[in-house]
Amino acid sequence: MQTDDTQAIIGALDDLLEKERTALIGGDLDVISRLLPEKERLIDALNTSGQREDLIALQGKLMRNHALLDSAMDGIRSVANRLGALRRVRNSLDTYDESGRRTTIEGFREKRVEKRA
């Protein structure tokens, strides 16, 4: 039998998981980071309640949000890799000769001085 406290914790965690899902879909990483301490606190409270079967009801939402978070992290890694590649292309260009040897052509960077009044 569930206590009122356990029910309140489950309800709060359920609401938090919905907020987390909305933030993940919207790409709002600041909200996700702010929700994490409360999420950890609620899960710890459920773990100490001794009623682990209560987590089964939330398992689907936890797994869904975990998959969304993994996808968001994959997207962030992809953007970081792409920005790194663009930075390398801007600074130099790698070419290959007929025998497959790589040659790097350094990019020309114009030095500018900004004048302010």
Of 56, 72, 66, the residue nearest 10 (C-alpha): 56
pLDDT band at 1 (very low <50, low <70, confident <90, very high): very low
Q: Is residue 11 part of a domain?
A: yes
Q: Is residue 63 part of a domain?
A: yes
Q: Is residue 59 part of a domain?
A: yes
Residue found by looking up tokens 């260009």 in the block: 93
Which tens digit of pLDDT belongs to each residue from 27-84?
888 999 999 999 999 888 887 876 666 677 788 888 899 999 999 889 999 999 999 8
pLDDT band at 5 (very low <50, low <70, confident <90, very high): confident
Dihedral sign from CA coordinates of 30, 62, 39, 22: positive
- Number of folded domains in the chain? 1
Q: Is residue 83 part of a domain?
A: yes
Q: Is residue 53 part of a domain?
A: yes
